[in-house]
């Protein structure tokens, strides 16, 4: 499946209608982004059951700001509308494959419980 260009208009609907979405925050002037692009495209082809999106941080500054993107490329994985991975820097193919495998194996009931616990403790603080 080819990557999807994510914008403020389709971002939320993409997350809501898909279980797992990988997001590459990038810019056309960014050298490491250009190096990471073919690795990301290959992973998209190898994982047709997942949605691979790209956010052009120059064109979609509101989205980049909403996710506090300070360095590009930044890879984010959202599963069941919860960010389960976020890391700046271009990943080599083997590391990207490993991160995808780990995201697939997550027990989302445990993740939701952990998020709820964290939110509860922040409310009490």
Catalytic residue among 15, 33, 77, 90: 33
Which residue in the list 6, 21, 22, 30 is annotated as catalytic? 30
Q: Is 30 among the catalytic positions?
A: yes
Whole-model pTM: value is: 0.92
Residue with tokens 């997942």: 50
* 4 DSSP β-pair partners: 53
Whether 114 shows a pLDDT value over 70: the answer reads yes
- The CATH number linked to 18 is 3.40.30.10
What average pLDDT is seen over the chain?
A: 94
Q: Can 119 be counted among the known catalytic residues?
A: no
pLDDT single digits (tens) 36-53: 999 999 999 999 999 999
- Provide the number of structural domains found in the chain: 1
The boundaries of the domain holding residue 84 are 4-124
CA dihedral 64, 68, 74, 77 (to 10 degrees): -90
């Amino acid at each position: 499946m080819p990557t999807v260009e994510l914008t403020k208009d389709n971002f939320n609907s993409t997350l809501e209608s898909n279980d797992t979405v990988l997001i590459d925050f990038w810019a056309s002037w960014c050298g490491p982004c250009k190096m990471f692009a073919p690795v990301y495209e290959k992973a998209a082809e190898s994982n047709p059951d997942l949605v691979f999106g790209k956010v052009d941080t120059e064109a979609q500054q509101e989205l980049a700001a909403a996710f506090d993107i300070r360095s590009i490329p930044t890879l984010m994985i959202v599963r069941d509308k919860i960010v389960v991975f976020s890391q700046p820097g271009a990943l080599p193919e083997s590391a990207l494959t490993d991160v995808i495998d780990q995201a697939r194996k997550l027990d989302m009931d445990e993740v939701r419980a952990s998020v709820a616990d964290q939110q509860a403790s922040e409310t009490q603080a």
